Amino acid sequence: MIFSFVFMEITGDSYAEFARRLTRQPEVASILGFSRVPDDPAFSRAWRNRFSDAVHEYVQTSAHFVIKEVHDRDISAPEVRPKNEIVDEPAVAKKPDEQESFSQGEIIQTTRLARDPAFGHFESGRGRNASYEDTQFFELQTFMGMVRCGTAQGTTRFQYRRGEEYGPHGDTHLRTVKQFNPEELVNGFNETTERLFSVIASEVSFRRPVTAAIDITTVPYYGDVEEMPMVSGTKDREGRAFKFATLSIIGQNIPLVLAVEPVRESSAWDENPPNQIHRTVRRLVQRAKEHVSIETVLCDREFDSMKMFQTLSNLNVNYLIPKRVSSSERDVLKQMEEDNLEVAVESASVRVETGSHSMRFLYVPSTSGEGTAVFATNLQVEPDEAETFCQRYSRRWQIENGYKSIKGDFLAKTSSKCSVE
């Protein structure tokens, strides 16, 4: 098995590519000692669970020695990775905000792991005679995000590492990326999610209902807003941004994003219909339910509306959502102060066109230590349970931290007006 990982490190094969290679080339499987070709999850489990860090280092050192020898001695071995992938490029002075947070090895490993389950599900619709495959554009896009640079500098550095003939020119990359429309990207994301679930099915079980978080994440936009229907205003009413609604499973480790959808809002510069965010949420939950059973949904205050509450109730999920404080909530807060209460539960009901249900408003001490926070839920929560129950909401912080990582570590710099980019 160790020689298999050395082989993969030499060729740059992903686990799935290596499994397919063994199927096509049974003589290689025989040389490596396999009577039956393992699947890619088997290689993944072996690498993580069977081998120590010392073995990992041995595999990399051995493979890199072979790669250098092949290229230094000019040996004809087209399956061997380019030497540029395993040697450091000359140091280049960078601005403080351009310091790389990933090593070259981490970038290569991340790209390799994403290639099979992810890249192949996104199609630009270009002709079969195109010079570069779609996966090469996604490799370049991943590289640019992880080294935190734009297209011009990113393509130059990418070609240095992978070879001038491997990567597309910057202008070619931009033209190709613009051929992916938002709907195609969402469809590709959904197919990737299905693929990932099939890969991790042997490792992780989602038999129990999960807690999910729905959030709006933004990508700042600084250009003109005319003829830009996908650009929306920000909460501070001063900025502009592309907005995306996501649904993520909250777990003990990194949150798993199950569904994503662009948000198109009505703004002064476009003719979009009024925003119907509850419909977006319905699609997100329905899509996520194809993979897992959802027990509770956590949303932020932006989702506080009677239509939203009823939408989630109709989907047979529980919800916990912070409530905007209006005159009726202020009356309750005033009464709590007079009665010297720290916690209160108020029964209420939702009645809209799509249905009705009973709900509760929970008044609990704010986690900031100042004042009282108000939450809406469709669960029957008693006053002595309210504060503990609302502490579940703090689990949403995982999502916010996850977005900071995604946008800070993986989002390439761009000045484009295209929401796809």
Q: Where are the domains of the chain?
A: 2-81, 98-181, 205-405
Residue 349, strand partner residues = 358
Determine the pLDDT at residue 252.
58
pLDDT for 280 beyond 80 = yes
Highest mean pLDDT among 120-134, 215-229, 282-296: 282-296
Q: Give the pLDDT mean for 253-264.
A: 77
Read off the pLDDT of residues 173-197 as tens digits, 9 standing for 90 and up. 777 777 777 777 777 888 888 877 7
pLDDT in tens, 117-174: 777 777 776 766 777 777 788 788 878 777 777 777 778 777 777 766 777 777 887 7
Which one has a higher pLDDT value, 259 or 399? 259
**Domain range 205-405, CATH architecture:** Alpha-Beta Complex (3.90)
Mean pLDDT of 259-277: 72
pLDDT at position 361 is 95
Q: For the residues 223-234, what does the mean pLDDT come to?
A: 68
CA 200 to chain centroid = 16
* pTM exceeds 0.75 for this model: no
**DSSP letters spanning 267-306:** -TTS-PPPP-HHHHHHHHHHHHTTT--EEEEEE-GGG-SH
- pLDDT bracket for residue 225 (50, 70, 90): low
Note the pLDDT of residue 92: 45
Q: Tell me: the pLDDT tens digits for 44-70?
A: 778 777 888 788 888 888 888 888 888
- Residue 181: CB atoms within 10 A of its CB come to 14
Q: 41 is written with which tokens?
A: 């999850």
Cα separation, 30 vs 36, in Å, equals 9
Residues 6+ apart with CB under 8 A from 43: 4, 5, 8, 15, 18, 19
Mean pLDDT of 399-411: 54
| Residues 318-328, mean pLDDT to the nearest whole number | 92
At residue 226, the pLDDT reads 66
Mean of the per-residue pLDDT values for the chain?
Answer: 79
**pLDDT score of 91:** 44
pLDDT, mean of residues 72-77:
80
Which of 15-24, 121-130, 222-231, 308-317 has maximum average pLDDT? Answer: 308-317
**380 band by pLDDT with thresholds 50, 70 and 90:** very high
Which pLDDT score, from 0 to 100, does residue 256 have? 79
Q: How far apart are CA 191 and CA 287, in angstroms?
A: 11
Residue bearing the bigger pLDDT, 95 or 325: 325
Element housing 320 (H / E): strand 318-322
User: Average pLDDT in the 409-421 region?
Assistant: 51
CA distance readout (Å), 110 to 14, 33, 38, 107, 180:
10, 28, 22, 5, 22
Q: Which residue has the higher pLDDT, 268 or 384?
A: 384
